[in-house]
Chains A and B, each alone.
Chain A
Amino acid sequence: DTGVSQNPRHKITKRGQNVTFRCDPISEHNRLYWYRQTLGQGPEFLTYFQNEAQLEKSRLLSDRFSAERPKGSFSTLEIQRTEQGDSAMYLCASSETGTGGYEQYFGPGTRLTVT
Protein backbone atom coordinates (compact mmCIF):
# COMPACT_ATOMS: atom_id res chain seq x y z
CA ASP A 1 0.00 0.00 0.00
CA THR A 2 1.76 3.10 -1.24
CA GLY A 3 -0.81 5.61 -0.06
CA VAL A 4 -2.38 8.48 -1.99
CA SER A 5 0.06 10.32 -4.23
CA GLN A 6 -0.29 13.78 -5.79
CA ASN A 7 1.70 15.55 -8.46
CA PRO A 8 3.13 18.07 -8.63
CA ARG A 9 3.80 18.89 -4.98
CA HIS A 10 4.25 22.56 -5.77
CA LYS A 11 3.07 24.71 -8.65
CA ILE A 12 3.72 28.39 -9.24
CA THR A 13 1.79 29.95 -12.07
CA LYS A 14 0.90 33.36 -13.36
CA ARG A 15 -2.63 34.69 -13.15
CA GLY A 16 -4.66 33.66 -16.15
CA GLN A 17 -2.77 30.45 -16.85
CA ASN A 18 -4.32 26.98 -16.69
CA VAL A 19 -3.01 24.33 -14.29
CA THR A 20 -3.70 20.63 -13.88
CA PHE A 21 -3.05 18.45 -10.85
CA ARG A 22 -3.04 14.68 -10.65
CA CYS A 23 -4.08 12.35 -7.85
CA ASP A 24 -3.44 8.60 -7.64
CA PRO A 25 -5.58 7.04 -4.91
CA ILE A 26 -4.88 3.94 -2.86
CA SER A 27 -5.29 1.15 -5.40
CA GLU A 28 -8.31 -0.65 -3.94
CA HIS A 29 -10.22 2.55 -3.10
CA ASN A 30 -13.12 3.35 -5.39
CA ARG A 31 -13.96 6.74 -3.86
CA LEU A 32 -11.87 9.82 -4.53
CA TYR A 33 -12.26 13.32 -3.10
CA TRP A 34 -10.77 16.73 -3.76
CA TYR A 35 -10.46 19.36 -1.02
CA ARG A 36 -8.92 22.82 -0.87
CA GLN A 37 -7.16 24.23 2.18
CA THR A 38 -6.16 27.85 2.71
CA LEU A 39 -3.97 29.21 5.48
CA GLY A 40 -5.54 28.94 8.90
CA GLN A 41 -8.47 26.89 7.69
CA GLY A 42 -9.38 23.24 7.62
CA PRO A 43 -9.81 21.50 4.27
CA GLU A 44 -12.97 22.40 2.34
CA PHE A 45 -14.71 19.86 0.14
CA LEU A 46 -14.66 20.44 -3.62
CA THR A 47 -15.88 17.27 -5.31
CA TYR A 48 -16.22 13.50 -5.01
CA PHE A 49 -16.07 10.51 -7.38
CA GLN A 50 -17.25 6.97 -6.98
CA ASN A 51 -15.38 5.03 -9.62
CA GLU A 52 -15.55 7.27 -12.70
CA ALA A 53 -18.80 9.02 -11.77
CA GLN A 54 -18.62 12.51 -10.28
CA LEU A 55 -21.41 12.35 -7.70
CA GLU A 56 -21.11 15.57 -5.73
CA LYS A 57 -19.73 19.04 -6.34
CA SER A 58 -19.40 21.95 -3.95
CA ARG A 59 -20.50 25.47 -4.75
CA LEU A 60 -16.81 26.30 -4.29
CA LEU A 61 -16.16 24.50 -7.56
CA SER A 62 -16.71 27.37 -10.00
CA ASP A 63 -16.99 26.85 -13.75
CA ARG A 64 -13.23 27.43 -14.00
CA PHE A 65 -12.65 24.18 -12.14
CA SER A 66 -13.11 20.76 -13.69
CA ALA A 67 -12.29 17.34 -12.30
CA GLU A 68 -12.18 14.01 -14.06
CA ARG A 69 -11.60 10.40 -13.20
CA PRO A 70 -11.83 8.77 -16.63
CA LYS A 71 -11.06 5.15 -15.78
CA GLY A 72 -12.01 5.14 -12.15
CA SER A 73 -8.38 5.16 -11.08
CA PHE A 74 -6.39 8.41 -11.07
CA SER A 75 -8.06 11.81 -11.14
CA THR A 76 -7.14 15.22 -12.48
CA LEU A 77 -8.23 18.64 -11.28
CA GLU A 78 -7.88 21.47 -13.77
CA ILE A 79 -8.18 25.16 -12.98
CA GLN A 80 -8.60 27.45 -15.96
CA ARG A 81 -7.73 31.15 -16.00
CA THR A 82 -6.23 31.01 -12.52
CA GLU A 83 -6.81 33.87 -10.10
CA GLN A 84 -4.79 34.88 -7.06
CA GLY A 85 -7.63 33.64 -4.87
CA ASP A 86 -7.01 30.13 -6.17
CA SER A 87 -3.73 30.02 -4.24
CA ALA A 88 -4.16 27.18 -1.76
CA MET A 89 -3.21 23.61 -0.94
CA TYR A 90 -5.22 21.17 -3.05
CA LEU A 91 -5.70 17.87 -1.28
CA CYS A 92 -6.87 14.55 -2.65
CA ALA A 93 -8.25 11.75 -0.50
CA SER A 94 -9.56 8.27 -1.14
CA SER A 95 -11.69 5.73 0.68
CA GLU A 96 -13.20 2.36 0.03
CA THR A 97 -16.85 1.33 -0.06
CA GLY A 98 -18.01 -0.20 3.18
CA THR A 99 -16.51 2.35 5.50
CA GLY A 100 -19.33 4.76 4.77
CA GLY A 101 -16.83 6.94 2.99
CA TYR A 102 -15.89 8.55 6.26
CA GLU A 103 -12.39 7.16 6.68
CA GLN A 104 -10.66 9.19 4.06
CA TYR A 105 -6.92 8.95 3.52
CA PHE A 106 -5.21 12.05 2.24
CA GLY A 107 -2.31 12.60 -0.09
CA PRO A 108 0.49 15.11 0.55
CA GLY A 109 -1.26 17.84 -1.41
CA THR A 110 -0.32 20.20 -4.22
CA ARG A 111 0.57 23.71 -3.13
CA LEU A 112 -0.58 26.21 -5.78
CA THR A 113 0.73 29.76 -5.82
CA VAL A 114 -0.79 32.17 -8.34
CA THR A 115 1.31 35.30 -8.89
Chain B
Amino acid sequence: TQLLEQSPQFLSIQEGENLTVYCNSSSVFSSLQWYRQEPGEGPVLLVTVVTGGEVKKLKRLTFQFGDARKDSSLHITAAQPGDTGLYLCAGDGRGGSEKLVFGKGTKLTVNP
Protein backbone atom coordinates (compact mmCIF):
# COMPACT_ATOMS: atom_id res chain seq x y z
CA THR B 1 0.00 0.00 0.00
CA GLN B 2 1.34 3.38 -0.96
CA LEU B 3 1.35 5.92 1.82
CA LEU B 4 2.24 9.57 1.76
CA GLU B 5 3.00 11.05 5.16
CA GLN B 6 2.84 14.78 5.57
CA SER B 7 4.37 16.77 8.40
CA PRO B 8 3.65 18.72 10.36
CA GLN B 9 -0.07 18.00 10.54
CA PHE B 10 -0.81 21.50 11.87
CA LEU B 11 1.23 24.70 11.62
CA SER B 12 0.34 28.13 12.98
CA ILE B 13 2.71 31.00 12.28
CA GLN B 14 2.81 34.77 12.14
CA GLU B 15 2.69 36.76 8.94
CA GLY B 16 6.16 37.23 7.47
CA GLU B 17 7.63 33.98 8.80
CA ASN B 18 9.08 31.26 6.59
CA LEU B 19 7.98 27.64 6.76
CA THR B 20 8.59 24.23 5.23
CA VAL B 21 6.21 21.30 5.04
CA TYR B 22 7.16 17.79 4.08
CA CYS B 23 5.71 14.89 2.16
CA ASN B 24 7.44 11.53 2.60
CA SER B 25 6.95 8.00 1.35
CA SER B 26 8.77 4.70 1.15
CA SER B 27 7.50 4.34 -2.43
CA VAL B 28 8.91 5.85 -5.59
CA PHE B 29 6.54 8.06 -7.56
CA SER B 30 6.68 9.10 -11.18
CA SER B 31 5.36 12.48 -10.12
CA LEU B 32 4.08 14.35 -7.11
CA GLN B 33 1.51 17.09 -7.05
CA TRP B 34 0.87 19.76 -4.43
CA TYR B 35 -2.61 21.11 -3.89
CA ARG B 36 -4.06 23.76 -1.62
CA GLN B 37 -7.56 23.35 -0.27
CA GLU B 38 -9.75 25.85 1.54
CA PRO B 39 -12.64 24.81 3.80
CA GLY B 40 -15.67 23.65 1.84
CA GLU B 41 -13.85 23.76 -1.50
CA GLY B 42 -12.03 21.31 -3.74
CA PRO B 43 -8.22 21.08 -3.91
CA VAL B 44 -6.51 23.54 -6.26
CA LEU B 45 -3.44 22.29 -8.11
CA LEU B 46 -0.31 24.30 -7.31
CA VAL B 47 2.47 22.37 -9.03
CA THR B 48 3.56 19.01 -10.43
CA VAL B 49 7.14 17.77 -9.97
CA VAL B 50 8.39 14.96 -12.16
CA THR B 51 12.19 14.77 -12.18
CA GLY B 52 14.21 13.69 -9.15
CA GLY B 53 15.91 16.74 -7.61
CA GLU B 54 13.59 19.11 -9.46
CA VAL B 55 12.91 22.51 -7.91
CA LYS B 56 9.95 24.64 -8.99
CA LYS B 57 9.06 28.11 -7.81
CA LEU B 58 5.65 29.73 -7.74
CA LYS B 59 6.06 33.28 -6.43
CA ARG B 60 6.89 32.80 -2.72
CA LEU B 61 6.42 29.02 -2.85
CA THR B 62 9.33 26.68 -3.62
CA PHE B 63 8.69 23.00 -4.30
CA GLN B 64 11.37 20.34 -4.36
CA PHE B 65 11.20 16.69 -5.43
CA GLY B 66 13.68 14.38 -3.71
CA ASP B 67 16.47 12.83 -5.74
CA ALA B 68 14.99 9.36 -5.21
CA ARG B 69 11.47 10.59 -6.05
CA LYS B 70 10.13 9.39 -2.70
CA ASP B 71 9.69 12.73 -0.97
CA SER B 72 8.93 16.36 -1.57
CA SER B 73 8.94 19.63 0.32
CA LEU B 74 7.13 22.92 0.07
CA HIS B 75 8.81 26.06 1.38
CA ILE B 76 6.90 29.32 1.77
CA THR B 77 8.81 32.55 2.19
CA ALA B 78 7.31 35.50 4.06
CA ALA B 79 3.97 33.81 4.62
CA GLN B 80 0.81 35.86 4.28
CA PRO B 81 -2.70 35.30 5.71
CA GLY B 82 -3.83 34.42 2.18
CA ASP B 83 -1.57 31.35 2.33
CA THR B 84 -3.81 29.85 5.01
CA GLY B 85 -5.23 26.50 3.95
CA LEU B 86 -4.74 22.75 3.81
CA TYR B 87 -1.71 21.75 1.75
CA LEU B 88 -2.00 18.29 0.23
CA CYS B 89 0.60 16.26 -1.60
CA ALA B 90 -0.47 13.52 -4.00
CA GLY B 91 1.44 10.87 -5.90
CA ASP B 92 0.48 8.90 -8.95
CA GLY B 93 -0.90 5.42 -8.45
CA ARG B 94 1.44 2.59 -9.24
CA GLY B 95 0.94 -0.40 -11.51
CA GLY B 96 -0.79 1.51 -14.26
CA SER B 97 -3.41 3.00 -11.94
CA GLU B 98 -4.64 6.44 -12.85
CA LYS B 99 -5.61 7.36 -9.32
CA LEU B 100 -3.84 9.87 -7.12
CA VAL B 101 -2.80 8.83 -3.62
CA PHE B 102 -3.05 11.71 -1.16
CA GLY B 103 -1.44 12.48 2.16
CA LYS B 104 -3.57 13.76 5.03
CA GLY B 105 -2.32 17.28 4.51
CA THR B 106 -0.75 20.07 6.53
CA LYS B 107 -3.20 22.62 7.88
CA LEU B 108 -1.46 26.00 7.77
CA THR B 109 -2.72 29.07 9.57
CA VAL B 110 -0.96 32.38 9.00
CA ASN B 111 -1.94 34.95 11.60
CA PRO B 112 -1.86 38.67 10.72
Contact = CB atoms under 8 A, between A and B. Distances in A.
Q: Do A and B come from one complex?
A: yes
Interface of A: 4, 6, 31, 33, 35, 40-45, 48, 50, 55-56, 58, 91, 93, 100-109, 111
Given A42-B102, A44-B102, A56 B97 contact: yes
A4 B44 CA distance: 11
Nearest to B35: A106
Size band of the B side of the interface?
Answer: 20 to 34
Contacts, number: 68
B68 interface: no
Contacts of B19: none
A100 B31 CA distance: 10
Given A93-B42, A109-B41, 12 more contacts: A31-B98, A43-B90, A43-B102, A56-B98, A58-B99, A101-B98, A103-B45, A105-B45, A106-B43, A106-B45, A108-B41, A109-B40
